[in-house]
Structure 1
Amino acid sequence: MNELLQAIQEGNIEQIDLLLETFLLNSEPSEQYEIAEALMHFGFLNEANRVFEHLQFLFPEEDQIAIDKASVLIEMGEEDEALHLLMGISDEAPEYPQALLVLADYYQMQGLYEVAEQRINEALQLVPTEPLLQFAKAELLFETGRFSEAARIYEELYTIDKKFAGVILAQRLAEVYRAGAGYETALEYYMEALEEEVTPDLLFGSGYAAFQIQKYELAIKQLEDLKELDPDYFSAYLLLADSYAMQDDNVRALKVIKEGIKRDEYDKSFFLFAGKMALKNSQPDEAIGFLTEAIALDPEYMEAILVLMSVYSSQDKYEEIIDLFEQLQQNEFEWVSLYPFVAHAYNINEQFVKAYEIYKLAYIEFKDDEEFLEKYCLFLLEDGKQAEAKRIAEQLVELQPTEQQWLDLLDRFE
């Protein structure tokens, strides 16, 4: 038996096959059951099934063996045979609640959550105080987004034990409160779970919860620790950079997001954030580079396009605005928020017909935007469209009744 256990732990499949037949012929059933559990634990499902078949031959009426064999068969994808075994267990058998739990796990894996919950509730009617059944129900509720119900059960179980089925309950409570936006409570449980075990997910969760309640220094500490523990935990970089930005440390924020880009050069949100941070660090050319990369990853990345247009406008890069807009048109991507930039760019480049077309389109969306109306009015004046300019001037007077230049303009029209 010791040789067989060693072969299982070492993953030596040839040695397992060599020893298993003799072991089944000469060992006690209790030892065989122990080996079957070890084989399951280490993922040797075919071999575990072989042992359970042997035990079932020896004890055909033993329901526990049928349940364990069914669990292995489900893992192997032999679902019909597994369900046949489970359905064959009498509802009066002591093992029946356990059979219901295995059925619930199977239905949950299939996405049949209502059926899974029915099986768990049936088992709970038989043994209402069984913690493992309560834990299974909490897991199902959590997976289906019923966070408050899940939290109530997890809290009750937490008073009994800190772990269930190998799961640290403080972590589950942290996750369920975080999912329900209870970030302060979530953070408390994350910090408690971290006392038991330090994992990348726990560090990220605690950093995220700390960020949400504006504890940016704690968020930075947790995420820096995460970055050191697992440099390829990509989500950490954006949240860490954002935490530095919230502390007005834009230099550090830009440095961190650049590190993230080196790790994951296909995340468009990294490039957008880097572009924004470059702008805050007075590096417009570098910002343009990052924003261009973001749009290359997603040609319809609306936020990145709008920021890039804004940068081009502030830098008087009107040719670039026109090039970007016409490229978007070729891709059949139209977005009215870009029209004010584009109309002004066409006007500056003396493409007055196109400018007029875009201004008219933009007016539908921006007829209450004072800055847009000012530019539109001046364009119409310069283009000799007096009647239209007067109409826009009248709107500006309504929006800015004390602004003298629009009052004077209306007087001139009169």
Structure 2
Amino acid sequence: MSYSEKLLDAIENQDFSQDKILLKQALDNDEPEVLASLAENLTSYGFTNLSKEVYRSLIAKFPKEDLFKVYLAEILLNDGDDDDGLTLLYNILPDSSAYLDSLLVQADYYQTNGLLETARDKLLQALKLAPEEDAIKFGLAELDYLDGEYEQALSLYRDLVKRQKNFGETNLIQREFQTMAKLGQYEEASEVIKEHSADILDIDSKYQAGLIMLSVGDDDQAIKYLDDVIDQSPDYVNAYPLLAQAYLHKHDNEQVLRSAQAGLAYNELDETLYSMGAKAAANMNELDTAEDLLKKGLEIAPDNSDLLMQLSNLYIHENKDQENINLFKDKSDEELEPQAHWNMAISYENLDKNDKARAEFLLAYPDFQKNPEFLKQMIRFFNVEPNSTDIVKQLLDRYLKLVPEDAEMQDLYNDLI
């Protein structure tokens, strides 16, 4: 057994008492091929300090073997020793057999650090040296995708898909249809998904497929993929709002509510699910459930105006006028939406607090002066208010321009003139 093997055995057995001694013995006695394998294994185990010593020893013995310099440089860059790593790489000349490897490591480094143009330049140099190398094409495709150059990325992904469906851990089918979606080619993307449904296996690909199928209105297929995502990983929280939306398109309130409640069990901060679940519950006349969801949502997000107005509308529907008014007691007029003023006007009127109802109707009026339902409510309120004939006439004049066929309001107008 070589000293390299003894060192690796000791590491696998978590015996680190003699690692320095065994490493020195390996460097002094083992063949270069064995040491190269040792360095690779040490790197994969995460013992980069030891692997760096092996590579430095190999470089000292074989100064013209530039591939060892590339491997050492890659470790140095990963360990944050940027200057030393880049120096090694830039000292590898174009006529070296390791020059291509050097360019690829440089490209990866610059991409990781957000220098996409520099990374692209390195990959284009590499492509000239190896125009058929898929690793280079994949790197360029990923760079183009990150940089928003989706047309270029799509062309590269399509070329790669001809020869393979995955590159490393990356699903190229997903990359293809996701890039189409970025270009707005949703229908084309959905066709790719249908054609390669058997190849969409990993969870992220299924999620993206569900999102695209939802975008093209194929709700059944969207539900299929999103259900697969949740079955595979119930805590994949982004899937639940999409699933609820798909069921909403199918007018399946029961499943919308179920999806929302299931999603909230994993992410109680999802304000969208509180809203969707509450609407579905209200549609099924499960008003207590709707109210409970909205209250919990407002505890999480007290400034969410959508949830606030949903709860206000629910209180109006249930004739819970004081509860409705209490919703807005700590809000200034500037914070309130016009609908809030309308809702408070209704509640104050129901509670016979006409002065406050009058004020709220007038505050809501500028935003709802073209809304026939609002105008009709306001007309009926002011019609029984003292000294309000002129206001009622003005409101009727505006209302009848919108709804001239309303005989009741036309008769009221005729009585006033």
Would the aligned equivalents of 1:32 and 1:51 in 2 still touch at CA under 8 Å?
yes
> What are the equivalent positions in structure 2 for 1:383-398 lying under 5 Å apart?
383-384=385-386, 385-398=388-401
Counterpart of 2:92 in 1: which secondary structure?
A: coil
CA contact (8 A) 1:272 1:304 kept: yes
Structure 2 residue aligned with 1:37, among 33, 37, 40? 40
**Measured at CA, do residues 57 and 310 of structure 1 come closer, stay the same or move farther in structure 2, by a change above 3 Å?**
same
Q: 1:137 aligns with which of 140, 148, 160?
A: 140
Deviations 1:299-346 (A, max 9, x none): 12232222222212211222122111223449x733234222122222
Pairwise CA distance, 1:185: 4.5
Match of 1:168 in 2: 171
Helix, strand or coil at the partner of 1:327: coil
Q: Could you tell me which residue of structure 2 aligns to residue 148 of structure 1?
A: 151
Q: Structure 2 regions of 5+ residues with no counterpart?
A: none
Task: Sort the Cα spacing of 1:168 and 1:17 in 2 relative to 1 into closer, same or farther, 3 A.
Answer: farther
Q: Which residue of the partner structure matches residue 406 of structure 1?
A: 409
Matched, 1:243 2:236: no
Partner of 1:313: 316
Amino acid at match of 2:394: R
1:13, 1:183 → 2: CA distance?
56
Distance 2:105 2:49 in 1: 19
Match of 1:72 among 62, 71, 75: 75
CA distance in structure 2 between the aligned counterparts of 1:193 and 1:68, rounded to whole angstroms: 37
Bigger CA drift: 138-147 or 204-213? 204-213
Q: Give the C-alpha shift of residue 394 in structure 1.
A: 1.0
Residue 32 (structure 1) shift:
2.0
Partner of 2:298: 295
Q: Aligned partners of 1:12, 1:135: CA distance in 2, in Å?
A: 40
Distance 1:248 1:131, change over 3 A: same
CA contact (8 A) 1:190 1:205 kept: no
Instruction: Verify: 1:270 aligned to 2:273, yes or no.
Output: yes
Which residue does 1:380 correspond to in 2?
A: 382
- 1:189 is displaced (CA, Å) by 5.0
Q: Aligned-residue CA RMSD in angstroms? A: 2.9
Does 1:358 pair with 2:350? Answer: no
Answering whether residue 210 of structure 2 is matched by residue 207 of structure 1, we say yes
Matching of residues 92-111 of structure 1 within 5 Å: 92-111=95-114
Aligned equivalents of 1:6 and 1:197: distance in 2?
A: 39
**1: CA distance between counterparts of 2:154 and 2:11?**
38
Residue pair 2:200, 2:206 contacting (<8 A) in 1 also: no
Task: State TM-score, norm by structure 2.
Answer: 0.87
1:216 to 216, 219, 236: 219
1:368 aligns with 2:370: yes
- The count of residues paired between Structure 1 and Structure 2 equals 413
Identity across the alignment (%): 29
Can you give the 5+ residue segments of structure 1 that lack an aligned partner in the other structure?
A: none
